[in-house]
Amino acid sequence: MNVGLIGCGAIGSLLYDLLGRYAPGVRVQVVYERTESRERARKALGTGTGTRIVDSVDDLLDGELDLVVECAGHEALRNLGPSVLAAGHDLLVASVGALADPVLETLLIDAATAKGARLRIPSGALGGLDALGAAKFAGLREVRYESHKAPDAWRGTPAEALVALDDIMRPTAFYEGTARDAARLFPQNANVAAAVALAGIGFDQTKVVLNADPLATGNAHRIKAQGDFGEIDIAVSGKTLPSNPKTSMLAPHSLVRAIVDLTRTLVVA
């Protein structure tokens, strides 16, 4: 399987290494990076890999790719995603929160539909999206997603204007609203909320609570849902990437799983 990566930052470079370790049948053929970041990408990939590093979408798509993986942020998905799908390539998306923009979501889906490509959403840092998706068919009425992260994980976000991060002594909810607004306001922190919304009852019906928690030792996520099928209560407490406290360690590993599953005969969905 030939794969192209969009982005070679904290997630992209780790994904590259993980694929080399766990997916010997997967070849990263090309990596897209901005012109000013290409040298950083070269250092991250090392020498003698045979992987091309490019800074134009035409060069990215100039090859026989089975899958393109976006791991460069919302702007990259907006700028490159439609072109990738319009070229007929499946696209695996790390920046799931960008789909809270209904215009972008429609643009991506229309581009994929026109060429028979697939827009793939990984489970990210949270499990249970399979159960949530099944519950949607069995009668799903209410979904609530709650996140607990250390105060430092919320720096550089609108949370700084909503709560005094330096003074928090106990878990403090600073946002309660819809998954759509959470993904729009906290693009680096609410990708899980977006994935929950897409798996379940949608961006506008999914309730989200975000907490700054001085007791958190990682990123804690919880889904509570109910409907005709019964109830779901799933919690994950995960460690963060050392290079980025906003991102859970499971996020890049979920990309690996999604890619490896495409090469397996037996797949646990």
Q: Which of 44-53, 74-83, 164-173, 216-225 has the lowest mean pLDDT?
A: 44-53
**Where in the chain do CATH 3.40.50.720 domains reside?**
2-124+251-261
Looking at residue 40, its pLDDT comes to 84
Overall CATH class of domain 2-124+251-261: alpha beta
Mean of the per-residue pLDDT values of the chain: 93
Burial grade of 186 (CB within 10 A; 0-12, 13-18, 19 or more): buried
pLDDT at 187 over 90: no
Cβ partners under 8 Å of residue 75, min gap 6: none
CA atoms of 93 and 198, how far apart (whole Å):
13
Per-residue pLDDT band for 48 (boundaries 50, 70, 90) equals low
Looking at residue 43, its pLDDT comes to 83
With a pLDDT cut of 70, the percent of the chain lying above it is: 99
Query: Which one of the listed residues 89, 148, 221, 253 is annotated catalytic?
Result: 221
Name the most confidently modeled range: 30-44, 98-112, 120-134. Answer: 98-112
Give residue-wise pLDDT tens across range 50-108: 899 999 999 999 989 999 999 999 999 999 999 999 999 999 999 999 999 999 999 99
Looking at residue 81, its pLDDT comes to 98
Average of pLDDT values for 110-134?
94
Average of pLDDT values for 122-131?
90
Q: Which of 138-152, 212-226, 239-253 has the lowest mean pLDDT?
A: 239-253
Question: How many C-alpha atoms does 251 have within 13 Å on its Cβ side?
Answer: 34
Looking at residue 38, its pLDDT comes to 82
With a pLDDT cut of 90, the percent of the chain lying above it is: 80
Q: What is the identity of the amino acid at 259?
A: I
Give residue-wise pLDDT tens across range 255-264: 999 999 999 9
Looking at residue 47, its pLDDT comes to 65
Write the CA distances from 56 to 23, 53, 248, integer angstroms.
27, 10, 29
Average of pLDDT values for 171-199?
93
Nearest-CA neighbor of 140 among 230, 227, 233? Answer: 227
Query: Are 63 and 88 within 8 A, CB to CB?
Result: no
Looking at residue 180, its pLDDT comes to 96
Instruction: Kindly report the number of other CB atoms within 10 A of residue 176's CB atom.
Output: 14
Looking at residue 35, its pLDDT comes to 85
List the CATH code of the domain at 129-246.
Answer: 3.30.360.10
**Where in the chain do CATH 3.30.360.10 domains reside?**
129-246
Looking at residue 99, its pLDDT comes to 96
Catalytic annotation present for 221: yes
